[in-house]
Amino acid sequence: MQPDIASHRARRAQLLKTLGEGVLILATAPEAIRNRDAHYPYRFDSHFYYLTAFPEPEAVLVLIAGRKPKQILFCREKNEEREIWDGFRHGPKAAKEVFGFDAAYSYSEIDKRLPKLLENQPRVAYAFGADPAWDVRVMGWINTVRGKVRSGVTAPANLSDAHALIDAMRLIKDAHEIDLMQRAADLSAVAHRSVLRLCKPGMGEWEIEAELMRSWRVGGCQAAAYTPIVAGGGNACVLHYVGNDQPLKDGDLLLIDAAGEYHGYAADITRTFPVNGRFSAAQKDVYEIVLAAQLAAIDAVRPGNTFNTPHEAALRVLTQGLVDLKLLQGEVDGLIESEAYKPWYMHKTSHWLGLDVHDAGDYKLQGAWRDLQPGMALTVEPGLYIRPSDDVPEALWNIGIRIEDDVLVTEAGNRVLSAAAPKTVAEIEAAMM
């Protein structure tokens, strides 16, 4: 799927209006050395890509706001020798035309051109603190302009956070972004269905991980959206378990938190199922509690509710479930107020989703939870994690269950992007036959 260049240019135009006056400077991510002279696979900066669709390293976006707004890209020159070794480069001329910029220059010229672009500008917006080396570089350009004060040139007097300006835009997904997120979720759901058919006692967590990555890569995802969690048995009670190196035992559950990234956009799906294809009575009891909590939370994802409303809905069901399991005693309201549930449920139910798996955007405004609006996308992922303890019946030991879906807020309520991944007990057991 090709980038929607018109949408990216429109985002830059919108940001210029928000900026009002001044200059915004935004660099993409640098390449990273894995070891010696080998690099990690390159992945662009999400804020930069959101505005440019430009996928190459060593690139900087400059937006000049005011009466004569201008959109400028700095990128690497064409270089036949380097392209033989490392692959295609657009170069400034092609980048200007293909990606819809008003001007494009060689990255090697940035130190010469930026001070001139900052002259007589009242404001600089930049991602201060994101990269110390770039902080020094930007302040160096500003200081160069300050050095011309005796000639009548003024330097920017106001500094602002470019990321904060862009975060607010990224919260609301447009139609093209939603299509990309749906594709990421669909391909990730295919991978989850594939491992349901594959999983057997005696396999290794690593084999399941390999099948997940094979499946979504074959489907067209460029990478994993995050390091996969493939956690059998008690490993599922470690929230960020990524060892993925233990054998899968008959009678255990397997928690998989894994999804692909499609043209920069992440899916984020968690499913939990029995390694042998059949839930035990205790496993099923806990699973049905978590599923009921998730369904209640998804139902609470709708315009007019706050970001925290789904969490509150899930928490009430989970706490009642803990009472039903005889892990807690008392009234649900009081148990929630005292946070008595936290030994078994210690995380929030949702986070924003988009170009980043934990996507940009504030969760509160002026101390109050943000209202949900159409176009926002978030995860819904309640869970229960029951470790061995003298106070816990042995049948419940090492049961770790999380169920996570990707949910888009719509005018009518919500749409579950990841609905194709089996979720009910009956669906899971049927898929594993």
Q: Are 2 and 179 in contact (CB under 8 A)?
A: no
Q: Is 21 a catalytic residue?
A: no
Structure tokens at 58: 């060593």
**Which residues are bridge partners to 399 per DSSP?**
386
> Helices 5-19 and 162-170 meet at what angle, rounded to 10?
130
Look up residue 140 and give its DSSP letter: H
299 is annotated as an active-site residue: no
190: which residues sit within 8 A by CB, 6+ positions away?
215, 216, 219, 420
Sign of CA dihedral 270, 274, 279, 281: negative
Find all residues with CB under 8 Å of 16, minimum gap 6, and list them: 63, 64, 65, 69, 71
Among 358, 359, 406, 429, the active-site one is: 358
Clarify whether 192 is annotated catalytic. Answer: no
Residues 421 and 271 sit within 8 Å (Cβ to Cβ): yes
Q: Which of 265, 345, 351, 406 is catalytic?
A: 351
From 207, 211, 268, 406, the catalytic residue: 268
Distance CA 4, CA 216 (A): 23
Structure tokens at 165: 């300006």
Distance CA 5, CA 51 (A): 9
Verify whether residue 42 is a known catalytic residue. Answer: no
Please tell me which residue in 186, 402, 405, 406 is annotated as part of the active site: 402
CA pair distance 366, 337, nearest whole angstrom: 23
Catalytic residue check, 385? yes
Cα separation, 210 vs 228, in Å, equals 10
User: Catalytic pick from 176, 193, 316, 347?
Assistant: 347
Distances (CA, A) of 178 to 3, 158, 410: 13, 36, 11
402 labelled catalytic: yes
| C-alpha–C-alpha distance, residues 243 and 245, integer Å | 5
Q: Is 257 a catalytic residue?
A: yes
Closest to 321 (Cα-Cα) out of 361, 297, 284, 290: 290
381 catalytic? Reply is yes
Residue 224 contacts residue 213 (beta carbons within 8 Å): yes
Catalytic option among 45, 186, 257, 359: 257
Q: State the Cα–Cα distance between residues 65 and 22, nearest whole angstrom.
A: 5
Choosing from 37, 81, 337, 391, which is the catalytic residue? Answer: 37
What are the structure tokens assigned to 15, written together? 């940001």
358 is catalytic: yes
Angle between helices 281-299 and 309-324 (to 10 degrees): 160
Note if 47 is an active site residue.
Answer: no
Compute and round to an integer the Cα radius of gyration of the chain.
Answer: 25
Q: Is 302 a catalytic residue?
A: no
Active site residues: 37, 240, 257, 268, 347, 351, 358, 381, 385, 402, 404
